[in-house]
């Protein structure tokens, strides 16, 4: 055997191939999202406190959105550390074949948590809209959208519970006569309702803003704030594209890294967008600080000039 080749149950592979590892990059992006989501959650409640705003239903839901996103992050890190995520299947077979089963357990946990991690922050955004909307049509549309988001989440969660029979066959593929419906198509189809509800989320506030009797500048500012709430559509589209373009039938512990990364980034962006809707008091505080600092600096320069 060539010295540059490594023999495994899957065949002979080069040392460079066996050394490839995408796990560290996934841990870096996961850690970054963990820090950002936590910081934005703290800033959200700080902003609410500064504005002396009463607690709403969405304020109760934000911690659950954060917890579900953190659960996804924890699963991803465990998959890298314990299940060989980021390594080639050949490497995992050569070092510890048990990694493959643990990887599938991690995938199942991702599938289970993801619908809730996406749905909760989106519902928070719609609840913020309901605080602003006054028209009956817009309010009814917002409530229907909440119902659609909840129904989609529950429908895919129930379907997930029955995707494999027996249930343990979701990760233990050695069980005789175990069956699953097409998991890849199921996963791909779950992205479509997210994109549809995202589009509605973007369109919903347009009429409310356009009919307001305020200056054009303030209308643009409000529209930017509302569009922030729908920023998750970018991540949703990217994740859907990656899902359709990734071949998960072979070398799945390596090729699935991008998909798993965006499975976390999608709900993280939803949470960041939902939290940022309440940042206006913080922006005001920063502007006042900068103005005050500018006044002090100007005053000091004037004083120095008078002594010269």
Q: What is the pLDDT of residues 222-275, one digit of tens each?
A: 677 667 766 778 888 888 888 888 888 788 899 999 999 999 999 999 999 888
End-to-end alpha-carbon separation of the chain, Å? 85
Of 6 and 270, more confident: 270
Per residue in 66-79, pLDDT (tens digit) is: 999 999 999 999 99
Max Cα-Cα span within the chain: 93
* In contact, 108 and 186? CB cutoff 8 Å: no
CA-wise closest residue to 264 among 26, 24, 52, 12: 26
- The Cα–Cα gap between 19 and 296 comes to 58
Helix (H) or strand (E) holding 11: strand 11-14
Determine the Cα angle at 35 with ends 114 and 229, to 5°.
55
pLDDT at 33: 95
Residue 135 has pLDDT above 90, yes or no: no
pLDDT at 258: 93
Per residue in 158-169, pLDDT (tens digit) is: 999 998 899 999
Burial string for 55-77 (b: 16+ CB within 10 Å, else e) reads ebebbebbeebbebbbbbbebbb
- The Cα–Cα gap between 163 and 295 comes to 65
Q: Which residues contact 261 (CB under 8 A, 6 or more apart)?
A: 26, 29, 30, 76
CA-wise closest residue to 145 among 113, 122, 117, 128: 122
- The Cα–Cα gap between 231 and 202 comes to 9
pLDDT at 9: 53
Confidence bin at 16 (pLDDT 50/70/90): confident
Q: Token pair for residue 107?
A: 């995938």
CATH topology of domain 16-277: Rhopdopsin 7-helix transmembrane proteins (1.20.1070)
Residue 305 has pLDDT above 50, yes or no: no
- The Cα–Cα gap between 96 and 14 comes to 18
Of 44 and 298, more confident: 44
């Amino acid at each position: 055997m060539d010295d540059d080749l490594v023999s495994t149950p899957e065949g002979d592979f080069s040392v460079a191939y066996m050394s490839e590892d995408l796990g560290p990059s996934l841990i870096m992006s996961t850690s970054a999202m963990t820090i950002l989501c936590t910081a934005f959650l703290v800033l959200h409640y700080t902003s609410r406190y500064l504005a002396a705003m009463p607690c709403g239903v969405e304020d109760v839901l934000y911690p659950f959105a954060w917890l579900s996103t953190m659960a996804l992050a924890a699963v991803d890190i465990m998959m890298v550390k314990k299940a060989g995520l980021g390594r080639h299947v050949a490497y995992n077979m050569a070092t510890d074949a048990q990694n493959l089963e643990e990887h599938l357990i991690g995938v199942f946990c991702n599938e289970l948590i993801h619908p809730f991690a996406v749905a909760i922050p989106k519902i928070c955004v719609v609840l913020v809209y309901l605080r602003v909307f006054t028209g009956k049509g817009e309010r009814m549309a917002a409530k229907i959208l909440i119902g659609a988001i909840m129904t989609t989440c529950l429908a895919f969660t129930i379907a997930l519970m029955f995707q494999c029979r027996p249930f343990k066959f979701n990760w233990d593929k050695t069980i005789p006569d175990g069956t699953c419906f097409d998991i890849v198509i199921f996963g791909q189809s779950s992205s479509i309702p997210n994109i549809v509800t995202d589009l509605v989320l973007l369109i919903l506030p347009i009429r409310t803003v356009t009919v307001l009797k305020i200056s054009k500048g303030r209308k643009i500012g409000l529209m930017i704030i509302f569009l922030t709430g729908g920023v998750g559509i970018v991540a949703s589209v990217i994740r859907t594209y990656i899902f359709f373009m990734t071949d998960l039938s072979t070398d799945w512990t390596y090729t699935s890294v991008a998909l798993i990364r965006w499975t976390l980034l999608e709900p993280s962006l939803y949470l960041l967008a939902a939290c940022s809707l309440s940042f206006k008091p913080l922006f005001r505080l920063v502007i006042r600080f900068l103005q005050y600092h500018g006044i002090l600096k100007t005053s000091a320069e004037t004083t120095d000039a008078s002594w010269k």
